[in-house]
Structures are given as structure tokens and as C-alpha cells.
């Protein structure tokens, strides 16, 4: 799950990045409103964490511009401003959640998970597909009741595809969702993880769309007779 973190305070940003990246999140960090707009215009994200006090723009302006372009991307506002007035303004501009500094990292993570889950149209922490059960809270996977061990990035790749079941995800989007900006991964890494997942579950789970990307197909519905 890829998060854009908009925060001008390096210590806070680094702490959030370090903490969340121990789990299923990839964090891309920008320190200004201008860079945030550029990032949002050209990259797929699952969530935005937005600090209100930015050096070049008010966070509310960033939120306003974002909502002009994208109604669905969840936004969590992170700020030292405690006034209720600010919260109301944030929600009226389309923020989905609000956390006041100082905050607890575990709480931030729980809220990030809940927001992303809600935006993907789910209320459960377990994704199911054809005998597979992927538990997001426990970061565990079973197939036909038997535990399946995957490498961390393979697990993340499977999560991305299961959350977007029925949609083809391009290789470049997958690479960005897996790695963000700051790692140079080998171009064949997706093939390696996909084949690991197929080997440990079943071969037809992930379908390759040649030259484009990958998809987990929705199960076929039985015709009604
Ligand atoms: Ca700030």
C-alpha cells in the first residue's frame, strides 16, 4: 500500500516512514505543497497523510486542489492544530480522518489501514479468493487451510492484486506500489514474485496479461438456470 506523506518536519516524516515501512506500507515523502501536487498528478497512491502547516502552501489548499482532481483518494490530516474549527474545515474540504500531534504510531497505522480498507470497499481485514485467505492484520496467508509462507514483497504484491481483484494492474503501477520512488528494483522482480506466489498456491491464481501487467480474475459466477 502506497502512501504519500506530505510533511515538512524531517524528524516526524522519518519516524512515520520508518515505522509504517515495517508493515505493508510504502511511504513516499514530500516536504512541500508544490512537490505534493506534482507527486499526486503522476503517481498512484492508496492514501495521503497531510500536514497542515507546510512552508509554501496551507495544507487546506493542498487538500482543496487534490479534491478538485480526485474524490476517492483517502486523506488523513496530521497536525498540531487542535482547534475544532480546523477539524471542521478539514472535513468539509474532504479529509477522511484527523490526527493531532503528538500522536501514537500504532494509532496512525490502525487509522491508515482502516482508511485504505474502506476506500477499497472492504470492512474486513481478511481477503478471500478461491481457497486463499489473506489476513492483513496478521500478515498471514493460508491456502485451503494450510499456511503459506511468502517473502514480504511477494505477500505485498499478492495483497495489491487481491484488493484490486478483476482489474489489470500494469507492471509500472505494481513496481511503484511495491517500491515507491526510492529503490531501484530489478525489472524481472515481478516475475520472480509472481512465480513464487503461483508455486506456493496454484498456477492460475495470477494471470499474466502479456506486455501489460497482471490480474487476479473474479471467480466465474455460475449461470442461473
Ligand atoms: Ca509542519
* Buried-exposed string 124-154: b where 16+ CB fall within 10 A, e elsewhere: eeebebeebebebeeeebebeeeebebeebb
Going by pLDDT thresholds of 50, 70 and 90, the confidence category of residue 123 is: low
pLDDT recorded at residue 85: 75
**pTM across the whole model:** 0.64
**Distance, CA of 197 to CA of 218 (rounded, Å):** 17
- For 67-106, what is each residue's pLDDT tens digit? 887 768 999 999 876 767 777 888 888 899 999 888 999 9
If you measure from the C-alpha of residue 92 to the centroid of ligand 1, how many angstroms do you get, rounded to a whole number? 21
pLDDT recorded at residue 162: 92
pLDDT recorded at residue 102: 87
Percent of the chain at pLDDT exceeding 90: 56
If you measure from the C-alpha of residue 58 to the centroid of ligand 1, how many angstroms do you get, rounded to a whole number? 10
If you measure from the C-alpha of residue 169 to the centroid of ligand 1, how many angstroms do you get, rounded to a whole number? 34
Mean pLDDT taken over the chain: 88
Confidence check: pLDDT of 24 > 70 = yes
Strand-pairing partners, residue 132, are: 129, 143
Give the residue with greater pLDDT, 97 vs 123. Answer: 97
Confidence check: pLDDT of 19 > 90 = yes
If you measure from the C-alpha of residue 91 to the centroid of ligand 1, how many angstroms do you get, rounded to a whole number? 19
If you measure from the C-alpha of residue 175 to the centroid of ligand 1, how many angstroms do you get, rounded to a whole number? 30
If you measure from the C-alpha of residue 139 to the centroid of ligand 1, how many angstroms do you get, rounded to a whole number? 32
If you measure from the C-alpha of residue 7 to the centroid of ligand 1, how many angstroms do you get, rounded to a whole number? 6
If you measure from the C-alpha of residue 183 to the centroid of ligand 1, how many angstroms do you get, rounded to a whole number? 26
Tell me what the mean pLDDT of segment 182-200 comes to: 85
If you measure from the C-alpha of residue 79 to the centroid of ligand 1, how many angstroms do you get, rounded to a whole number? 7
If you measure from the C-alpha of residue 132 to the centroid of ligand 1, how many angstroms do you get, rounded to a whole number? 43
pLDDT recorded at residue 221: 61
If you measure from the C-alpha of residue 100 to the centroid of ligand 1, how many angstroms do you get, rounded to a whole number? 12
If you measure from the C-alpha of residue 52 to the centroid of ligand 1, how many angstroms do you get, rounded to a whole number? 6
Amino acid at each position: 500500500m502506497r502512501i504519500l506523506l506530505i510533511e515538512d518536519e524531517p524528524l516526524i516524516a522519518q519516524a512515520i516512514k520508518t515505522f509504517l515501512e515495517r508493515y505493508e506500507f510504502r511511504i513516499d515523502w514530500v516536504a512541500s505543497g508544490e512537490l505534493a501536487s506534482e507527486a499526486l498528478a503522476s503517481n498512484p497512491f492508496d492514501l495521503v497523510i497531510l500536514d497542515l502547516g507546510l512552508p509554501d502552501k496551507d495544507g487546506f489548499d493542498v487538500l482543496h486542489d487534490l479534491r478538485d482532481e480526485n474524490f476517492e483518494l483517502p486523506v488523513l490530516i496530521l497536525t498540531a492544530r487542535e482547534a475544532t474549527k480546523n477539524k471542521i474545515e478539514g472535513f468539509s474540504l474532504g479529509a477522511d480522518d484527523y490526527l493531532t500531534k503528538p500522536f501514537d504510531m500504532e494509532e496512525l497505522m490502525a487509522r491508515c489501514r482502516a482508511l485504505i480498507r474502506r476506500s477499497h470497499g472492504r470492512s474486513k481485514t481478511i481477503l478471500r479468493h478461491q481457497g486463499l485467505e489473506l489476513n492483513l492484520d496478521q500478515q498471514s496467508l493460508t491456502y485451503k487451510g494450510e499456511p503459506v509462507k511468502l517473502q514480504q514483497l511477494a505477500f505485498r504484491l499478492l495483497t495489491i492484486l487481491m484488493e484490486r481483484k478483476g482489474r489489470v494492474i500494469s507492471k509500472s503501477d505494481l513496481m511503484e506500489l511495491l517500491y515507491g520512488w526510492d529503490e531501484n528494483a530489478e525489472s524481472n522482480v515481478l516475475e520472480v514474485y509472481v512465480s513464487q506466489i503461483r508455486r506456493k498456491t496454484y498456477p492460475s491464481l495470477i494471470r499474466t496479461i502479456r506486455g501489460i501487467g497482471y490480474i487476479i480474475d473474479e471467480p466465474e459466477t455460475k449461470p442461473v438456470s
